[in-house]
Amino acid sequence: MSDSSPPIPPWRHRLSLAGSIFLGAIFLVAAWAKTLNPGSLADQITREGLDFLLPAGVVALIALALEYFLGSALVLGLRRRVVLWPTAALVVFFLFLTGRTYVRSLQGIEPEDASCGCFGNLVQRTPAEAFWQDLFLMVPALLLAFLALRGGLPRVRTAIAVAVTLAMTLLAWRAPHLPLDDVATSLKPGVDIASLCIEGSSGSDVCLDGIVPELSEGEHVVVLTELDDELIAHVDDLNDFYWTAEAPALWVLTGASEEELFQFRFTQGPTFELREAPKPLLQRMWRQAPRSFEVSDGEVTRTWSGLPPLDALRSAESQDSAAVPSATTR
């Protein structure tokens, strides 16, 4: 096929290879940022209305597989039509999505999710940043990759790309069931609660320590949750814990609407402190609700998938207060 074409000068090969590796690396980083939290990608797919043929979870896995295959193929220098044309289509599609969000933000229509573009919740970008970064990083690299198209598909490199794709897609499929919350989200031991922020509508940050300023001092347990059946099943436990004098102060944060909160209050009678938090902020801190963590003087000290071990926390505090007479009182 390319035999009759004039030979490609070496500089074009080098530039093409550099563009290919750079673009492939972007795809791999973007895919990795979403691999450990495919549920968040599925939510984004639902919001974008891209689940019209298949369930959002399946679309998310297909999208990740495609990104991994194209990313690893490009990094391995597979500059073939079968790789580059789907890559071009994907770049155009990403630009369409980020461009649409950017235009909406310029029109004052807020994006529902603070996470913009293709990097999941670990990488926070404004709509403008997402669009311009995608445009200036991906398009030149793509054009460079097209400078020196090659023929045929080398078996070994293709096999490596397929193997990477299968392995990473399998990881993404199983990731929600693996104890990787601390790796996959911004909430992990050692984090200062003041650093858990999203960009607010007027440009300044909305941070966890602004929603619960009380966390800055003393010992606290925070539950991030939906107002769902699991929470309802544990309302009594949480109420009891809240009123245990020796236990750390309990805060329950939810992204529920005003109506959902009203209905919850008048059907469940919670007596613990229930506060609203923006959903995008919660999505930075969880893969699946509920998730909980312990805070000491504004720093996250422990995290738990699900609700906290209330009995263990209570008994630990009781022992501490027996040893030290100055027990925490509410």
Partner 1 sequence: MFKCPYRQLFVLLLLGLAISWPAAAEVDSVFSAFRPNGDYLFELDGEAVSDATLYFSDRARAYLIVGPALGSPLLIHPRSGVVEKISLMKVQKNEDGSIDLLADASFDQVGKFRLDGLSLLFDYKGQQAVVRPKPALVGMQSATALRDFKPEYAAEADAYAPSSAALQALAGQGRDVTVRVFLGTWCPVCGRTVPKVIKTEEALAGLGGSNIQFEYYGLPRNISEDPVAAEMKINGVPTVVVLTGEREIGRIDGRDLHSPETALRELLDS
Residues that bind partner 1 (CB under 8 A): 110, 194, 200-206, 209-214, 216, 239, 243, 258-259, 262-263, 265-269, 271, 273, 275
Distance CA 312, CA 223 (A): 16
Pick the closer one to partner 1 by CB: 51 or 260: 260
Pick the closer one to partner 1 by CB: 201 or 319: 201
Distance CA 238, CA 190 (A): 25
Please choose, from the candidates 19, 7, 165, the residue with its C-alpha nearest in 3D space to the C-alpha of residue 79.
Answer: 19
Q: Per-residue b/e over 114-124, b at no fewer than 16 CB within 10 Å?
A: bbbbbbbbbbb
Backbone angles phi, psi at 171, to 5 degrees: -60, -45
Tell the smallest beta-carbon distance from residue 25 to partner 1 (Å). Answer: 35
Pick the closer one to partner 1 by CB: 5 or 202: 202
Pick the closer one to partner 1 by CB: 93 or 243: 243
Tell the smallest beta-carbon distance from residue 198 to partner 1 (Å). Answer: 11
The CA-atom distances, in angstroms, between 194 and each of 106, 187, 281, 282 are 28, 11, 12, 14
Tell the smallest beta-carbon distance from residue 188 to partner 1 (Å). Answer: 22
Beta bridge partners of residue 192, listed in sequence order = 299
Residue partners of 68: CB distance under 8 A and separation at least 6: 27, 28, 31, 164, 165, 168, 169
Tell the smallest beta-carbon distance from residue 250 to partner 1 (Å). Answer: 13
Pick the closer one to partner 1 by CB: 110 or 112: 110
Tell the smallest beta-carbon distance from residue 26 to partner 1 (Å). Answer: 32
